[in-house]
Amino acid sequence: MKTLSGIFTILGKNLPDYEERPQQITMAEEVFRCLTKEKNLLIEAGTGVGKSFAYLIPAIISGEKTIVSTSSLALQDQLVKKDLAFLSRVLPQKFSYDLLKGKNNYLCRKRLSDYEGTGKTYERFIKWMSKTKKGEKGELPFIPRFWSEVCCDSQDCNGKLCPFYEECFYYRHYRKLHKADILVVNHHLLIYDLLSDFNVLPFHKQLIIDEASDVDDVIATVLGSTISHSRTSWMLYRLRSLKIIVDHLFPAADLFFRKKAVIPSRPVFPVPPPERERLKKFREELALKKTVSTLKKNKKDAVDEEMKDRIETTIR
Protein backbone atom coordinates (compact mmCIF):
# COMPACT_ATOMS: atom_id res chain seq x y z
CA MET A 1 0.00 0.00 0.00
CA LYS A 2 1.28 3.46 -0.87
CA THR A 3 1.90 6.08 1.81
CA LEU A 4 -0.49 9.00 2.00
CA SER A 5 2.00 11.46 0.53
CA GLY A 6 2.67 8.92 -2.27
CA ILE A 7 -1.03 8.89 -3.01
CA PHE A 8 -1.21 12.66 -3.16
CA THR A 9 1.66 12.51 -5.68
CA ILE A 10 -0.60 10.33 -7.86
CA LEU A 11 -3.23 13.08 -7.69
CA GLY A 12 -0.64 15.61 -8.85
CA LYS A 13 0.17 13.47 -11.89
CA ASN A 14 -3.50 13.07 -12.86
CA LEU A 15 -4.96 16.47 -12.07
CA PRO A 16 -3.45 19.19 -14.26
CA ASP A 17 -4.28 22.04 -11.84
CA TYR A 18 -3.42 20.12 -8.64
CA GLU A 19 -1.33 22.03 -6.12
CA GLU A 20 0.27 20.27 -3.20
CA ARG A 21 -1.20 21.70 -0.01
CA PRO A 22 0.53 20.86 3.29
CA GLN A 23 -2.75 21.40 5.24
CA GLN A 24 -4.48 18.83 3.04
CA ILE A 25 -1.82 16.21 3.71
CA THR A 26 -1.80 17.01 7.45
CA MET A 27 -5.58 16.65 7.56
CA ALA A 28 -5.42 13.35 5.62
CA GLU A 29 -2.78 12.00 8.02
CA GLU A 30 -4.91 12.98 11.03
CA VAL A 31 -8.02 11.37 9.52
CA PHE A 32 -6.10 8.20 8.69
CA ARG A 33 -4.66 8.01 12.21
CA CYS A 34 -8.12 8.47 13.67
CA LEU A 35 -9.67 5.78 11.44
CA THR A 36 -6.98 3.18 12.05
CA LYS A 37 -6.80 3.81 15.80
CA GLU A 38 -10.62 3.88 16.07
CA LYS A 39 -10.65 7.33 17.63
CA ASN A 40 -12.94 10.33 17.16
CA LEU A 41 -11.67 13.46 15.48
CA LEU A 42 -13.08 16.95 14.93
CA ILE A 43 -11.49 19.14 12.28
CA GLU A 44 -12.28 22.71 11.32
CA ALA A 45 -10.73 23.44 7.94
CA GLY A 46 -11.23 26.58 5.90
CA THR A 47 -11.96 26.72 2.20
CA GLY A 48 -9.13 25.78 -0.12
CA VAL A 49 -7.76 22.97 2.05
CA GLY A 50 -9.15 20.29 -0.25
CA LYS A 51 -11.13 18.59 2.53
CA SER A 52 -12.94 16.02 0.45
CA PHE A 53 -9.76 14.31 -0.79
CA ALA A 54 -8.28 14.69 2.70
CA TYR A 55 -10.99 12.45 4.16
CA LEU A 56 -11.93 10.28 1.16
CA ILE A 57 -8.40 9.02 0.53
CA PRO A 58 -7.77 7.83 4.14
CA ALA A 59 -11.23 6.21 4.17
CA ILE A 60 -10.48 4.34 0.94
CA ILE A 61 -7.04 3.13 1.95
CA SER A 62 -8.28 2.06 5.38
CA GLY A 63 -10.24 -0.64 3.48
CA GLU A 64 -13.19 -0.40 5.92
CA LYS A 65 -16.81 0.33 5.10
CA THR A 66 -17.33 4.06 5.53
CA ILE A 67 -20.35 6.33 5.52
CA VAL A 68 -19.79 9.93 4.45
CA SER A 69 -22.63 12.19 5.48
CA THR A 70 -23.18 15.70 4.11
CA SER A 71 -26.06 18.14 4.25
CA SER A 72 -26.24 19.41 0.67
CA LEU A 73 -27.16 17.52 -2.48
CA ALA A 74 -24.55 19.60 -4.30
CA LEU A 75 -21.73 18.20 -2.15
CA GLN A 76 -23.14 14.65 -2.39
CA ASP A 77 -23.15 14.96 -6.18
CA GLN A 78 -19.65 16.40 -6.20
CA LEU A 79 -18.32 13.58 -4.00
CA VAL A 80 -19.88 10.83 -6.10
CA LYS A 81 -19.78 12.16 -9.64
CA LYS A 82 -16.44 13.96 -9.41
CA ASP A 83 -14.19 13.05 -6.49
CA LEU A 84 -14.93 9.34 -5.97
CA ALA A 85 -15.25 8.75 -9.72
CA PHE A 86 -11.81 10.31 -10.19
CA LEU A 87 -10.21 8.45 -7.26
CA SER A 88 -11.55 5.11 -8.47
CA ARG A 89 -9.81 5.73 -11.80
CA VAL A 90 -6.41 6.77 -10.46
CA LEU A 91 -5.87 5.02 -7.11
CA PRO A 92 -4.23 1.61 -7.16
CA GLN A 93 -6.66 0.40 -4.47
CA LYS A 94 -9.95 -0.84 -5.88
CA PHE A 95 -13.08 0.21 -4.04
CA SER A 96 -16.80 0.63 -4.68
CA TYR A 97 -18.98 3.60 -3.81
CA ASP A 98 -22.62 4.63 -3.97
CA LEU A 99 -24.99 7.40 -3.01
CA LEU A 100 -28.25 7.17 -1.10
CA LYS A 101 -30.31 10.33 -1.36
CA GLY A 102 -33.24 11.20 0.90
CA LYS A 103 -36.39 9.18 0.18
CA ASN A 104 -38.18 12.18 -1.33
CA ASN A 105 -35.70 12.11 -4.22
CA TYR A 106 -37.19 8.87 -5.53
CA LEU A 107 -40.50 8.26 -7.24
CA CYS A 108 -42.98 6.21 -5.20
CA ARG A 109 -44.92 3.80 -7.42
CA LYS A 110 -47.62 3.42 -4.78
CA ARG A 111 -48.29 7.14 -4.38
CA LEU A 112 -48.20 7.59 -8.14
CA SER A 113 -50.84 4.89 -8.52
CA ASP A 114 -53.05 6.79 -6.02
CA TYR A 115 -52.47 10.13 -7.74
CA GLU A 116 -55.08 11.26 -10.22
CA GLY A 117 -53.04 13.30 -12.67
CA THR A 118 -54.05 14.84 -15.98
CA GLY A 119 -52.60 17.21 -18.54
CA LYS A 120 -49.48 17.46 -20.67
CA THR A 121 -46.96 17.60 -17.82
CA TYR A 122 -48.47 14.52 -16.27
CA GLU A 123 -48.29 12.66 -19.61
CA ARG A 124 -44.62 13.67 -20.02
CA PHE A 125 -43.99 12.50 -16.48
CA ILE A 126 -45.59 9.09 -17.13
CA LYS A 127 -43.49 8.73 -20.29
CA TRP A 128 -40.34 9.46 -18.25
CA MET A 129 -41.42 7.03 -15.56
CA SER A 130 -41.94 4.22 -18.10
CA LYS A 131 -38.29 4.61 -19.18
CA THR A 132 -36.44 5.50 -15.99
CA LYS A 133 -34.40 2.78 -14.31
CA LYS A 134 -33.68 4.67 -11.09
CA GLY A 135 -36.81 6.81 -10.64
CA GLU A 136 -34.66 9.65 -9.30
CA LYS A 137 -35.78 13.25 -9.23
CA GLY A 138 -32.30 14.32 -10.37
CA GLU A 139 -32.82 12.50 -13.70
CA LEU A 140 -35.96 14.42 -14.56
CA PRO A 141 -35.52 17.07 -17.25
CA PHE A 142 -38.31 19.06 -15.52
CA ILE A 143 -39.70 18.93 -11.97
CA PRO A 144 -43.49 18.69 -12.02
CA ARG A 145 -45.45 20.68 -9.43
CA PHE A 146 -46.97 17.44 -8.14
CA TRP A 147 -43.59 15.81 -7.36
CA SER A 148 -44.17 16.07 -3.60
CA GLU A 149 -47.36 14.06 -4.00
CA VAL A 150 -45.77 11.18 -5.88
CA CYS A 151 -42.31 10.96 -4.34
CA CYS A 152 -41.42 8.48 -1.58
CA ASP A 153 -42.45 9.63 1.85
CA SER A 154 -41.44 7.76 5.02
CA GLN A 155 -44.77 8.66 6.64
CA ASP A 156 -46.67 7.08 3.79
CA CYS A 157 -44.71 3.91 3.13
CA ASN A 158 -45.45 0.41 4.32
CA GLY A 159 -42.08 -0.98 3.27
CA LYS A 160 -42.22 -4.73 2.72
CA LEU A 161 -46.03 -4.71 3.01
CA CYS A 162 -46.37 -2.36 0.04
CA PRO A 163 -47.61 -4.15 -3.11
CA PHE A 164 -44.92 -2.29 -5.10
CA TYR A 165 -42.05 -3.16 -2.73
CA GLU A 166 -40.16 -5.53 -5.09
CA GLU A 167 -40.05 -3.00 -7.93
CA CYS A 168 -39.83 0.09 -5.68
CA PHE A 169 -37.10 2.45 -7.00
CA TYR A 170 -35.90 3.42 -3.52
CA TYR A 171 -35.72 -0.08 -2.06
CA ARG A 172 -34.25 -1.58 -5.23
CA HIS A 173 -31.39 0.91 -4.96
CA TYR A 174 -31.22 0.44 -1.19
CA ARG A 175 -30.75 -3.36 -1.47
CA LYS A 176 -27.49 -2.86 -3.41
CA LEU A 177 -25.94 -0.49 -0.90
CA HIS A 178 -24.34 -3.06 1.40
CA LYS A 179 -21.80 -3.71 -1.37
CA ALA A 180 -20.46 -0.14 -1.32
CA ASP A 181 -17.16 0.48 0.50
CA ILE A 182 -17.87 4.21 0.60
CA LEU A 183 -21.48 5.23 0.93
CA VAL A 184 -22.47 8.89 0.67
CA VAL A 185 -25.69 9.87 2.47
CA ASN A 186 -27.34 13.00 3.83
CA HIS A 187 -27.58 14.04 7.49
CA HIS A 188 -31.30 13.18 7.64
CA LEU A 189 -30.62 9.53 6.81
CA LEU A 190 -27.77 9.51 9.29
CA ILE A 191 -29.93 10.82 12.14
CA TYR A 192 -32.79 8.44 11.27
CA ASP A 193 -30.24 5.63 11.37
CA LEU A 194 -29.10 6.63 14.87
CA LEU A 195 -32.70 6.93 16.08
CA SER A 196 -33.66 3.55 14.65
CA ASP A 197 -30.79 1.65 16.33
CA PHE A 198 -28.90 1.52 13.03
CA ASN A 199 -31.72 0.01 10.99
CA VAL A 200 -31.74 2.56 8.19
CA LEU A 201 -28.24 2.45 6.72
CA PRO A 202 -26.24 -0.64 5.83
CA PHE A 203 -23.49 -1.78 8.20
CA HIS A 204 -20.48 0.53 8.27
CA LYS A 205 -17.47 0.72 10.52
CA GLN A 206 -16.45 4.33 9.99
CA LEU A 207 -18.34 7.57 9.83
CA ILE A 208 -17.21 10.88 8.37
CA ILE A 209 -19.48 13.91 8.70
CA ASP A 210 -18.84 16.84 6.37
CA GLU A 211 -20.82 20.10 6.67
CA ALA A 212 -21.17 19.09 10.32
CA SER A 213 -22.39 22.53 11.39
CA ASP A 214 -25.76 21.66 9.78
CA VAL A 215 -26.31 18.56 11.90
CA ASP A 216 -28.09 20.39 14.75
CA ASP A 217 -30.67 21.84 12.32
CA VAL A 218 -31.30 18.37 10.96
CA ILE A 219 -31.75 16.95 14.46
CA ALA A 220 -34.27 19.71 15.21
CA THR A 221 -36.12 18.91 11.99
CA VAL A 222 -36.15 15.15 12.56
CA LEU A 223 -37.14 15.33 16.22
CA GLY A 224 -39.47 18.29 15.82
CA SER A 225 -42.81 18.61 14.09
CA THR A 226 -43.04 19.92 10.58
CA ILE A 227 -45.86 21.72 8.89
CA SER A 228 -45.80 22.51 5.20
CA HIS A 229 -48.24 23.34 2.44
CA SER A 230 -47.42 20.17 0.47
CA ARG A 231 -47.76 17.98 3.56
CA THR A 232 -51.09 19.56 4.54
CA SER A 233 -52.42 19.24 0.97
CA TRP A 234 -51.25 15.61 0.88
CA MET A 235 -53.17 14.97 4.11
CA LEU A 236 -56.32 16.62 2.73
CA TYR A 237 -56.15 14.64 -0.53
CA ARG A 238 -55.59 11.50 1.48
CA LEU A 239 -58.62 12.24 3.66
CA ARG A 240 -60.68 12.93 0.57
CA SER A 241 -59.68 9.55 -0.88
CA LEU A 242 -60.90 8.00 2.40
CA LYS A 243 -64.33 9.58 1.78
CA ILE A 244 -63.97 12.27 4.45
CA ILE A 245 -65.47 15.58 3.37
CA VAL A 246 -62.59 18.04 3.28
CA ASP A 247 -63.11 20.11 0.10
CA HIS A 248 -64.04 23.17 2.15
CA LEU A 249 -60.68 22.94 4.01
CA PHE A 250 -58.43 23.48 0.97
CA PRO A 251 -59.02 27.29 0.89
CA ALA A 252 -58.22 27.50 4.63
CA ALA A 253 -54.92 25.67 4.06
CA ASP A 254 -54.07 27.85 1.05
CA LEU A 255 -54.79 31.00 3.03
CA PHE A 256 -52.69 29.86 5.98
CA PHE A 257 -49.64 29.13 3.85
CA ARG A 258 -50.03 32.14 1.59
CA LYS A 259 -49.28 34.29 4.61
CA LYS A 260 -46.11 32.35 5.09
CA ALA A 261 -43.95 35.34 6.01
CA VAL A 262 -44.57 34.31 9.60
CA ILE A 263 -43.52 30.69 9.08
CA PRO A 264 -39.83 30.37 9.91
CA SER A 265 -37.69 28.86 7.18
CA ARG A 266 -35.61 26.87 9.66
CA PRO A 267 -36.48 24.92 12.79
CA VAL A 268 -37.11 27.08 15.87
CA PHE A 269 -37.24 26.11 19.49
CA PRO A 270 -39.29 27.00 21.42
CA VAL A 271 -42.03 27.99 18.95
CA PRO A 272 -42.79 31.68 19.66
CA PRO A 273 -46.22 32.22 21.36
CA PRO A 274 -47.91 34.06 18.42
CA GLU A 275 -46.97 31.22 16.06
CA ARG A 276 -48.15 28.65 18.58
CA GLU A 277 -51.53 30.43 18.71
CA ARG A 278 -51.74 30.60 14.94
CA LEU A 279 -50.94 26.90 14.60
CA LYS A 280 -53.50 26.03 17.28
CA LYS A 281 -56.15 27.98 15.38
CA PHE A 282 -55.21 26.28 12.12
CA ARG A 283 -55.43 22.89 13.77
CA GLU A 284 -58.91 23.75 15.04
CA GLU A 285 -59.89 25.03 11.61
CA LEU A 286 -58.90 21.71 10.07
CA ALA A 287 -60.87 19.97 12.85
CA LEU A 288 -58.06 17.48 13.26
CA LYS A 289 -59.31 15.99 16.51
CA LYS A 290 -62.69 15.29 14.96
CA THR A 291 -61.11 13.89 11.81
CA VAL A 292 -58.88 11.51 13.77
CA SER A 293 -61.83 10.19 15.80
CA THR A 294 -63.86 9.68 12.56
CA LEU A 295 -60.90 7.83 11.06
CA LYS A 296 -60.56 5.64 14.14
CA LYS A 297 -64.23 4.76 13.91
CA ASN A 298 -63.96 4.04 10.16
CA LYS A 299 -60.93 1.86 10.82
CA LYS A 300 -62.94 -0.28 13.23
CA ASP A 301 -65.69 -0.72 10.62
CA ALA A 302 -63.36 -1.28 7.66
CA VAL A 303 -63.53 -4.81 6.30
CA ASP A 304 -60.55 -4.89 4.00
CA GLU A 305 -56.97 -4.90 5.32
CA GLU A 306 -55.64 -2.41 2.78
CA MET A 307 -58.23 0.17 3.82
CA LYS A 308 -57.35 -0.36 7.51
CA ASP A 309 -53.75 0.15 6.62
CA ARG A 310 -54.36 3.36 4.71
CA ILE A 311 -56.45 4.77 7.54
CA GLU A 312 -53.75 3.90 10.06
CA THR A 313 -51.04 5.58 7.97
CA THR A 314 -53.18 8.72 7.66
CA ILE A 315 -53.85 8.86 11.41
CA ARG A 316 -50.12 8.59 12.10
Task: List contacts with ligand SF4 (CB under 6 A).
Answer: 108-111, 152, 157-159, 162, 164-165, 168, 170-171
Radius of gyration, CA atoms only, the chain: 23
CB of 121 to ligand SF4, least distance (A): 21
Nearest to ligand SF4 of 54, 157 (CB atom): 157
Q: DSSP strand E in 79-131: where?
A: 97-99
Q: How many CB atoms lie within 10 A of CB 148?
A: 17
Q: Check the CA dihedral 17-23-29-34 and report its sign.
A: negative
- 3-state DSSP assignment of residue 219: helix
H/E run at residue 209: strand 206-209
CB of 269 to ligand SF4, least distance (A): 30
CB of 161 to ligand SF4, least distance (A): 8
- 3-state DSSP assignment of residue 268: coil
Q: State the Cα–Cα distance between residues 95 and 91, nearest whole angstrom.
A: 9
Nearest to ligand SF4 of 86, 115 (CB atom): 115
Which residues is 151 bridged to in the sheet? 107
CB of 192 to ligand SF4, least distance (A): 14
Q: How many CB atoms lie within 10 A of CB 267?
A: 17
CB of 104 to ligand SF4, least distance (A): 10
